[in-house]
Amino acid sequence: MPTKTYQIGVEATMEVIGGKWKSIILCHLRQKAMRTSELERAIPQISQKMLVQQLRELEAANIVTRHVYQQVPPRVDYSLTDYGHSLSGVLHDLCVWGEENIDRRREQGEAITLLHRDDL
Protein backbone atom coordinates (compact mmCIF):
# COMPACT_ATOMS: atom_id res chain seq x y z
CA MET A 1 0.00 0.00 0.00
CA PRO A 2 1.47 3.41 -0.96
CA THR A 3 2.22 5.98 1.71
CA LYS A 4 -0.51 8.56 2.14
CA THR A 5 0.60 12.14 2.81
CA TYR A 6 -1.44 14.86 4.51
CA GLN A 7 -0.38 18.48 4.86
CA ILE A 8 -2.30 18.90 8.15
CA GLY A 9 -4.34 16.60 10.38
CA VAL A 10 -7.72 18.07 9.47
CA GLU A 11 -7.28 16.60 5.98
CA ALA A 12 -7.42 13.10 7.48
CA THR A 13 -10.51 14.05 9.50
CA MET A 14 -12.31 15.52 6.50
CA GLU A 15 -11.45 12.45 4.44
CA VAL A 16 -13.61 10.45 6.86
CA ILE A 17 -16.39 12.90 7.83
CA GLY A 18 -16.24 15.47 5.03
CA GLY A 19 -18.96 16.25 2.55
CA LYS A 20 -22.43 17.62 2.96
CA TRP A 21 -24.08 14.73 4.77
CA LYS A 22 -21.69 12.69 6.93
CA SER A 23 -21.34 15.11 9.83
CA ILE A 24 -25.12 15.65 9.87
CA ILE A 25 -25.71 11.90 9.98
CA LEU A 26 -23.13 11.54 12.75
CA CYS A 27 -24.72 14.32 14.82
CA HIS A 28 -28.03 12.44 14.73
CA LEU A 29 -26.40 9.12 15.59
CA ARG A 30 -24.54 10.77 18.45
CA GLN A 31 -27.90 11.08 20.20
CA LYS A 32 -29.10 7.48 19.68
CA ALA A 33 -29.13 4.49 17.34
CA MET A 34 -31.46 5.12 14.41
CA ARG A 35 -33.10 3.18 11.63
CA THR A 36 -32.68 4.31 8.03
CA SER A 37 -36.25 5.61 7.95
CA GLU A 38 -35.65 7.66 11.12
CA LEU A 39 -32.56 9.22 9.55
CA GLU A 40 -34.55 10.00 6.39
CA ARG A 41 -37.16 11.84 8.50
CA ALA A 42 -34.47 13.65 10.49
CA ILE A 43 -32.65 14.72 7.29
CA PRO A 44 -35.45 15.29 4.77
CA GLN A 45 -33.15 16.83 2.14
CA ILE A 46 -31.07 13.65 1.68
CA SER A 47 -32.08 11.00 -0.85
CA GLN A 48 -32.33 7.40 0.29
CA LYS A 49 -29.57 6.42 -2.14
CA MET A 50 -27.21 9.08 -0.76
CA LEU A 51 -28.04 8.20 2.85
CA VAL A 52 -27.26 4.52 2.26
CA GLN A 53 -24.03 5.42 0.45
CA GLN A 54 -22.88 7.70 3.26
CA LEU A 55 -23.77 5.13 5.92
CA ARG A 56 -21.78 2.47 4.04
CA GLU A 57 -18.75 4.76 3.83
CA LEU A 58 -18.98 5.55 7.55
CA GLU A 59 -19.35 1.86 8.30
CA ALA A 60 -16.27 1.05 6.17
CA ALA A 61 -14.33 3.66 8.18
CA ASN A 62 -15.44 1.96 11.44
CA ILE A 63 -17.27 5.12 12.54
CA VAL A 64 -20.76 3.60 12.33
CA THR A 65 -21.97 0.09 12.97
CA ARG A 66 -24.94 -1.55 11.29
CA HIS A 67 -26.99 -3.89 13.45
CA VAL A 68 -29.37 -6.30 11.71
CA TYR A 69 -32.12 -7.79 13.89
CA GLN A 70 -33.25 -11.29 12.93
CA GLN A 71 -36.97 -10.64 12.67
CA VAL A 72 -39.69 -10.32 10.04
CA PRO A 73 -39.83 -7.76 8.58
CA PRO A 74 -36.06 -7.23 8.90
CA ARG A 75 -34.97 -4.37 11.10
CA VAL A 76 -31.65 -2.56 10.73
CA ASP A 77 -30.32 0.28 12.80
CA TYR A 78 -27.13 2.29 12.83
CA SER A 79 -25.13 3.59 15.76
CA LEU A 80 -21.74 5.06 16.43
CA THR A 81 -18.90 2.69 17.24
CA ASP A 82 -16.61 3.50 20.17
CA TYR A 83 -14.27 4.96 17.57
CA GLY A 84 -17.18 6.99 16.16
CA HIS A 85 -18.00 8.29 19.64
CA SER A 86 -14.47 9.71 19.77
CA LEU A 87 -15.79 12.33 17.30
CA SER A 88 -18.47 13.55 19.74
CA GLY A 89 -16.44 16.50 20.99
CA VAL A 90 -15.63 17.64 17.46
CA LEU A 91 -19.27 17.28 16.37
CA HIS A 92 -20.50 19.15 19.46
CA ASP A 93 -18.07 22.01 18.78
CA LEU A 94 -19.28 22.20 15.16
CA CYS A 95 -22.90 22.38 16.35
CA VAL A 96 -22.14 25.10 18.90
CA TRP A 97 -20.19 27.13 16.35
CA GLY A 98 -23.07 26.82 13.88
CA GLU A 99 -25.61 27.94 16.50
CA GLU A 100 -23.47 30.94 17.44
CA ASN A 101 -23.06 31.78 13.75
CA ILE A 102 -26.84 31.65 13.30
CA ASP A 103 -27.32 33.93 16.33
CA ARG A 104 -24.77 36.39 14.91
CA ARG A 105 -26.43 36.40 11.50
CA ARG A 106 -29.88 36.92 13.07
CA GLU A 107 -28.52 39.91 14.99
CA GLN A 108 -27.44 41.32 11.63
CA GLY A 109 -31.02 41.01 10.38
CA GLU A 110 -30.91 37.70 8.50
CA ALA A 111 -34.08 35.60 8.77
CA ILE A 112 -32.98 32.09 9.80
CA THR A 113 -34.95 29.25 11.36
CA LEU A 114 -33.09 26.68 13.48
CA LEU A 115 -35.33 23.72 14.25
CA HIS A 116 -33.12 22.07 16.88
CA ARG A 117 -30.29 23.18 19.13
CA ASP A 118 -27.56 20.78 20.17
CA ASP A 119 -28.64 19.48 23.56
CA LEU A 120 -25.39 17.81 24.58
Instruction: Give a yes or no: residue 1 inside a domain.
Output: no
CA proximity to 63, closest of 78, 48, 46, 84: 84
CATH number at residue 75: 1.10.10.10
Contact predicate 29/43, CB 8 Å: no
Q: Could you read off the pLDDT of 4-41 as tens digits, one per residue?
A: 999 999 999 999 999 899 999 999 999 899 999 999 99
75 in a structural domain: yes
Predicted TM-score (pTM) of the model is 0.86
Q: What is the DSSP string of 12-74?
A: HHHHHH-SSSHHHHHHHHHHS-EEHHHHHHHSTTS-HHHHHHHHHHHHHTTSEEEEEE-SSS-
Residue 78 to residue 19: CA distance in whole angstroms: 19
Domain of residue 47 covers: 9-107
Confidence of residue 119 (pLDDT cuts 50, 70, 90): low
**Are residues 40 and 48 in contact, defined by beta-carbon separation less than 8 angstroms?**
yes
d(CA 103, CA 74): 43
For the chain, the domain total comes to 1
